[in-house]
Amino acid sequence: MPDSQLAGGICSVTDDPDTAKARGDENAEGLTRLAKALNFQLRFREAIEIYDGLIKESPDDRELVRTRATRFLNTIQPSKAVADLLRCREFGMDEGDISYRLGIAYYLGGDYTSAMEETEKSFALVGDEMGIAAMYWNTLAAWKMGVEPELLGMYHKDMEVGHHTSYERVMALAAGELSEEEFVKITEEEPEDLEYAMLAYGYACLLEHSGNGEKAAGMLRSVVSRDSFWIAYGYLAAWNELNGGPAR
C-alpha cells in the first residue's frame, strides 16, 4: 500500500462499502464525498484527481485547497503541497498550522533553509503541543544543514506537549536532558508504529549529524519496516531518504 501512494504505483485496494456507495453522483457534493471515502481508504492519489477537478471549478475554495495540500504531503509531492499551502496563506487560514505544514513540505523537498524559517514562524504562533513538533522538524532541518538549531534552545522539561511525547523525547535527547541509552530503550520498546516513526527517524537524523551514517541508515530501514501508520511524517521522511529523496 505505501509504495502505490508514495511511488505512484498501481493501487490494488478495492472500494469498501462507503466508497462504492459514494460513486455515481457527479456534482461537487457527491465528488467531495467520494474523495473523502477514498482518503479514508488511504487512496490519496485517486482522491487528488478528484480534488484537481473540483478546484479547477472552484479555485478559491480554501478547504479543498487545504485538503489537497495535505494529500500532496501524504504522497510526498512537496512542491505541489507548497503551492497549495501558499494559497492557503493567501486565503488567511491559520498561520501557525500553515507554517508548520509548509515546514514539512520544504523539508521533504530538501529545502532545509525554508523548512527552518517556516517552523520558526509556526513555533512563535502555537502552544507547546504543536511547538514541540515545530521544534523537532526545525532541529532536524538544522542538522541536515549542518547549522545550530535555532529552536532547540527553547526546549525545557516542563513543556506541555500533550500527545506529542515522542517528539519531546527526541528533543530531550538532543538537548542533553535524556541519555542516549534511555532513549534507545524507549524506542526499542515502543509498540506503536506512529510513535516509533517519530522516535527512530529523529534518532536517525541525529546519528547522521554525528557522523554515524551506517547506523543512521539502519534506523531509517527500521522505520519503513513498520508501516501500519505510513502516513506519519517521520515514516514519509524516512521512506523519501531511502528512495532517492529529497522529492520534488
Question: Residue 184's closest CA among 165, 205, 166, 199?
Answer: 199
Residue 87's pLDDT is: 98
Joined grid coordinates for residue 21: 456507495
Contact 187, 121 (CB under 8 A): no
**What average pLDDT score do residues 154-174 get?**
97
- Give CA–CA dist 239/209, Å, rounded: 18
- pLDDT of 171-188, one tens digit each? 999 999 999 999 999 999
Residue 104's pLDDT is: 98
- Angle, alpha carbons 235-240-245 (nearest 5°): 160
- pLDDT of 188-203, one tens digit each? 999 999 999 999 999 9
- b/e 33-48 (16+ beta carbons within 10 angstroms → b): bbbebbbebbbbbbbb
| In the predicted structure, residue 5 carries a pLDDT above the cut 70 | yes
User: Burial, 185: exposed, middle or buried (Cβ in 10 Å; 0-12, 13-18, 19+)?
Assistant: exposed
**Helix, strand or coil for residue 239?**
helix
Residue 46's pLDDT is: 97
| In the predicted structure, residue 247 carries a pLDDT above the cut 70 | no
- pLDDT of 49-101, one tens digit each? 999 999 999 999 999 999 999 999 999 999 999 999 999 999 999 999 999 99
**Overall pTM > 0.85:** yes
Report the phi/psi class of residue 110: left, alpha or beta, with left for phi > 0 and alpha for psi in -120 to 50.
Answer: left
| In the predicted structure, residue 204 carries a pLDDT above the cut 80 | yes
First-to-last C-alpha distance (Å) of the chain = 21
Whose cell is 511524517? That residue is 233
- Of 14-18, 80-84, 115-119, the one with minimum mean pLDDT is 14-18
